[in-house]
Amino acid sequence: MAAVGNSSSGASKFMRNFVMLFILLALVVIINGKLFVHHDPNIFLLGYGISVTTIIFITFYIAHTQYRDPVENIFRFNLNAGKKMPFISIIVAAYNEEKLISQCVDSLIRTSYKNREIIVVNDGSTDGTAQVLGQYEKYSDVKILNLKQNIGKKKAIAEGLRIAKGELFVFTDSDSVLARDAVERIVNIFVFDDTVGAVSGHGRALNAEKNIWTKIQDSWYEGQYSIKKAFESVYGAVTCVSGPLAVFRREAVYNYVPAWANDRFLAKEFRFATDRTMTAFVLGSRFIGPTLQKKFADSPFVKGTEYATRDWKIVYCKSAKVWTKVPETIGKIFKQHIRWKKSFIRSIFLTGTFYWRKPFLAALRYYLGIIYVFMGPFIVFRHLILLPASGQFLTGALYLGGIFFVGLLYGILYKLENPKSDLWVYRPLMSLMSTLVLSWFIFYSILTIRKNVWHRG
């Protein structure tokens, strides 16, 4: 059996190395094409195109060759043997989720990590959520908080944190389902490394097989985690510990709860950026922490215990699986991405103020990514409208081909991570939709950023 396992592992490694070599050669061909075959006389746009291609390769290469799931060696060599395992608080806020909340809570109860409490906050739901949650009051480790009125996700979670006793805070969304061992895996990372302030799990679509829209999103989720978060995790600087499974060390985040729950942007309460903002407070603890502690010094979250600011690491655990419901219609996808882009804009003025202090490649990719988001729509307009209008039809065809090809590369990596799934074929479609349609929402998001309407999807 061992020989078979080694052979299988060797074959898998060979395939991965082959794919990476293919990606390298493909991107070299693309860069040479930009320089010598389809040379753009505009030096700035030429540089833009080459930098985008280069950053894609660097991200793929480092995520593939440098990332290691931080829990694997801990389990393999039993590195936490004899260490005390902490008491944790699992917290979820729900608003009008009577159809899905039971799936979520059931998965929390089934989790293999038992030294815990589960706090479910019913954020003033007007449907049958309270009745569904009532059936869980019989469990000794489950606490149900029924709020009289809807106060929003951040403030609802803050209410749960007021009574939370855990050394670690585990957050999930009310429409998400956790793998049985997901929490246990992440807790072991914190126990092993006391410099880790937060850990992100690995999210996929719970309803992936519903229709073409959910299949497209599932193929996209895989890359967002196993490529983007893996890249950032190599440097201990993950920029968004995503809501489906986000775990924070108490001392890394507790003092910042009032700043998070009452986040303001452009002189108005900002209800978006739930995940990004809390992540930013941990990433930037050493730089912005003292100011936040001073500003909310009278809050129970600060006055009781003032934790020392530290240069925390934030990592990603690929083997900690969680599935979340994704939008099933194109309209709901649009609304969700508008919300995400508002969160992105907010993060520029928070994470962007200190992320340059992080490792060079991580910071370079972060700030170039901001430029790409705002430049992208103009590049689309130039290649598909302006240049073809002047007779340069080949430019548009090559541009679309490039977008499709990059999506195909992501799709191939999806297939390597999920060899039994055929959803990888939908990944190029997400690249096309993201570039040609969703990218334009950045401008609408800017114009409507003060409109705090939450769209769940």
- DSSP letters spanning 169-204: EEE--TTEEE-TTHHHHHHHHHHH-TTEEEEEEEEE
Q: What is the CATH number of domain 72-328+346-353?
A: 3.90.550.10
Q: How, if at all, do strands 142-146 and 116-122 pair? A: parallel
Domain limits, the chain? 10-67+358-447, 72-328+346-353
Mean pLDDT of 141-149: 97
**Structure confidence at residue 6 (pLDDT):** 46
**385-436: per-residue pLDDT in tens?**
998 999 888 888 888 988 998 899 899 889 988 999 999 999 999 999 999 9
Where do the DSSP E strands lie in 110-171?
Answer: 116-122, 142-146, 168-171
Q: How far apart are alpha carbons 319 and 199 in whole angstroms?
A: 12
- Return the amino acid letter for 391: G
Mean pLDDT (the chain, rounded) = 91
The backbone region for 390, taken as left when phi is positive above 0, alpha when psi lies in -120 to 50, beta otherwise, is alpha
Query: Does the global pTM surpass 0.85?
Result: yes
> In the numeric block, which tokens belong to residue 368?
């170039």
Contact partners, residue 254, CB within 8 Å, separation at least 6: 161, 301, 305, 307
Render pLDDT for 367-386 as a digit per residue (tens, 0 to 9).
999 999 999 999 999 989 99
The reported pLDDT for the residue numbered 295 is 96
